[in-house]
Copies of this chain bind each other. A is one copy, B any other.
């Protein structure tokens, strides 16, 4: 256990208090692993404009057939009533047409929710022959408008494919339907002493299949690596309706090109993932979380290098937050006390996880002592129990929601070499100030804040706004992408391309890469029926 003397050294003025007033956001979890669920919360926000109105330069592709009665009859011939939703007086299909951020709104009049892979196969075969455009949809928690229609595409939701298929407690290999909610999968694994090798804020809504289709990164990537390493097999319905059954459960298999890799991160453009086989690690028995204050981004980097070397095998998250992000979160969590009474320029959240609490405590303690002696860490707290641990995590995990709650947020999720990571936030604020867009109301921008997974070189730049506004968008794009490109970063670290970033891929990928990506799209989906107007 963390000993009293160290806690005293670390906490100085600030001590963690009780569970606070964040009801409805934090919930009891199946195990110690921090789990925070962000819920859809449409009610308080205005319905977005139609995407077609907001982006008049994007035109409906006339090659796609407009849905006719005969098509609906075909769908009705293979699906039951419960598997089809049609727009009518009572139902505008808003949930399926609008993205979680309420930035995009499509006009689909029909949502198909097949209960079997074979039905999905029949639907895609038909749509491919008839040239009917289709948007695959999982939990619809994507952040780049990739999972909602742009015009009248048919929405094909996998939410009715939601069974755990198989779990082997010796190897830790889980096989499940694509529509299983991530949190449900993780709770199931917890019962068997295993953990899903990925965690993210939307886990209560997002689907395992969607997570794979978007190659989500999330909070455990530092420890468990990317899905390209942990996914062992996929079942995918191809655009022509063929079913690729590649649900292997082998950790090693060098027989041919690794087909599944192409679908990881393909955002539903070349196939619909219907099943996932994934290697899951044993659930750690001990978790520690410490929340640290540092004086500069320079010091954030130094603490990271030090943590990587000294905490090595037990380091499972290294997140940083700027003070501006904490101010927004304090505002959102009105009354909930922050770990520190004073403000500091930057904060770091370090999570360790391992098999022996005493060993982990000792390592963390030694590391923190040394980091304070070096003057890198100026204040810090260590969670003493599960409640405190969750409370510390909320100050990182609720930033997205806090950035959005005063009107809206422009989110940029970029990869940058570590040394340049924070300079983008400074540059964005400078630019918005110069353009007289940032400040008190009625100026549209509240603040650009930065936080993210330092361990993965992944910055989240959130521009909190009072309303979505073309001027702000113009000030930010392509400015942000140009900045990232100039530092050889990626304009999408983990959120994907979707609708939002389709036209900006050239800031990260070169013409040869783009050509090859386009050629593969055509190779797999010659009629282009899957998730059009997006990705590439």
Contacts and interface: CB of A to CB of B under 8 A. Distances in A.
Interface of A: 168-172, 193, 214-215, 217, 221, 225-226, 228-230, 242-246, 248-259, 261-262, 264-266, 270, 282, 284-285, 301, 304-305, 308-314, 353-356, 359, 362-363, 415, 417-419, 453, 456-458, 488-497, 501, 505, 508-510, 512-514, 516-517, 519-521, 523, 535-536
B171 A417 contact: yes
Contacts of A172: 308
Nearest to A169: B305
B523 A250 contact: no
Contacts of A457: 171, 250-252
A508 B253 contact: yes
Nearest to A244: B512
Nearest to A270: B257
Given A215-B258, A256-B497, A355-B363, 15 more contacts: A221-B251, A245-B510, A252-B453, A255-B490, A255-B497, A257-B265, A259-B516, A261-B264, A282-B308, A284-B312, A312-B354, A313-B354, A314-B355, A359-B359, A359-B363
A492 B250 CA distance: 11
A254 B250 contact: no
A294 to B, nearest CB: 16
A535 B353 CA distance: 42
Contact of A256 (B253, B314, B363, B505): B505
Contacts of A359: 356, 359, 362-363
Contacts of A354: 312-313
Given A225-B229, A356-B359, A513 B246 contact: yes
Contacts of A265: 254, 256-258
Contacts of A508: 253, 255
Contact of A243 (B301, B363, B512): B512
A313 to B, nearest CB: 4
A251 B517 contact: no
Nearest to A366: B356
A453 to B, nearest CB: 8
A11 to B, nearest CB: 25
Given A312-B282, A523-B519, A255 B170 contact: no
Contact of A253 (B243, B244, B419, B492): B492
Given A354-B313, A355-B310, A513-B244, A496 B254 contact: yes
B258 A262 contact: yes
Given A170-B305, A244-B516, A250 B356 contact: no
